[in-house]
């Protein structure tokens, strides 16, 4: 996962989601306005919202139902 994240972030990918169906969470990595990678961990009860795709969001309760 780390190798893939670094490869993506170093080659222009602005946002990378890792969905873990065993732990029922989403790890969200996104570049901010300073081009630094930010991390969010979304769990059951959260709504994961894309920082780069307008109006794209996932309700984790529904996803991991």
pTM equals 0.86
Query: What is the tens place of the pLDDT at every residue in 6-62?
Result: 999 999 999 999 999 999 999 999 999 999 999 999 999 999 999 999 999 999 999
pLDDT of 50 reads: 96
Give, in degrees to the nearest 5, the angle at Cα 62 between 58 and 64.
Answer: 100
pLDDT of residue 1: 87
- The strand pairing partners of 26, in sequence order, are 19, 42
50 contacts: CB under 8 Å, gap ≥ 6 = 15, 56, 57
- Token pair for residue 33? 């306005």
What does the block give as tokens for 5? Answer: 């994240």
């Amino acid at each position: 996962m780390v190798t893939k994240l670094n490869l993506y972030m170093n080659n222009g990918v602005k946002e990378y989601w890792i969905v873990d169906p065993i732990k029922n969470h989403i790890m969200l990595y996104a570049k901010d306005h300073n081009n630094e990678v930010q991390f969010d961990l979304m769990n059951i009860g959260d709504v994961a919202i894309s920082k780069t795709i307008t109006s794209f969001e996932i309700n984790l309760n529904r996803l991991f139902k």
